[in-house]
Amino acid sequence: MTSIDQFQDKAVFVAGGSSGINFAIAKAFAERGARVAIASRTPERVQAAVAQLRELGGEALGFAADVRDADAIAEALGNAHAAFGDIDVLVSGAAGNFVAPALGMSTKGFRTVVDIDLNGTFHVLRAAYAYLRKPGASVLSISAPQAFNPTKYQAHVCAAKAGVDMLTRVLAMEWGGDGIRVNSIVPGPIGDTEGVRRLAPTPEALAHMQASIPLRRFGRVDDVADMALFLSSLRAQFVTGAVIPVDGGSSLAGGRDLGSAVAA
């Protein structure tokens, strides 16, 4: 590893960092010397994740906060800033999902996902602005292919994540003058995660999902963490407002595959 990939003593805040992809991102920065703060709803999950981060030898902090509560998330960000100083890397990755047709969602069900994914991201980014390093901060939102691939039974996630990517583009423009870069990472299907367990709950559905990925394998959480490291490194200093898939090519087909009608 060259020094360009080191994050020694950098301050990192990961909203939704207690599990899955977001925890892997938190861990990747902690392994490279960063001081990492995470926030999610469940105190026990936050404590367990912070304990794992501390085992890596660095400083880690955790906050029980719901991204739907703008004041709670602002308080967590303020406390992280008081402990670690200006935030070098901000990750907004908290999300919720369930599979249901639009007519099977109550207005509260639709609103719940939009509140977590989209409004939650606005709360995190808006409150963090005061604490971000200027110039130099890297802001990352964790989006999803539903942002640009219309997907049945995912009306709430499609609408919310499309909004997340638009926030990325708008804030990249508004905050570029401060030297803050804002980008979205779009994971494809990542193996052994809650997201995939919800979308493909049976072995058959898992096999079908895997077959639809051009690289023919599920992603690993570290595939996504590697992109977060890259986007926050000195190698990506001219990258902002980008929406970058890390998906084995799975978004290319837009869900349409002629399958057996054409020889492979």
Q: Does the footprint of ligand COA cover residue 121 (CB under 6 A)?
A: no
Would you say how long the chain is, in residues?
A: 264
CB 122 within 8 A of CB 168: no
Q: How far is the CB of 254 from ligand NAP (least distance, A)?
A: 16
CB 138 within 8 A of CB 231: yes
Q: Among 59, 66, 75, 178, which residue sits at the site for ligand NAP (rule: CB under 6 A)? A: 66
Structure tokens at 203: 């072995």
Q: Does the footprint of ligand COA cover residue 108 (CB under 6 A)?
A: yes
CB 67 within 8 A of CB 96: no
Binding string, residues 16-55; x marks residues near ligand NAP by CB under 6 A: x-xxxxx-----------------xxx--x----------
DSSP secondary structure code for residue 115 in this structure: I
Q: What is the residue type of 166?
A: M
> Nearer to ligand NAP by C-beta: 128 or 142?
142
Q: Does the footprint of ligand COA cover residue 198 (CB under 6 A)?
A: yes
Residue with tokens 């207690």: 18
Binding string, residues 66-105; x marks residues near ligand COA by CB under 6 A: -----------------------------xxxx-x---xx
> Nearer to ligand COA by C-beta: 58 or 96?
96
Radius of gyration of the chain (CA): 18
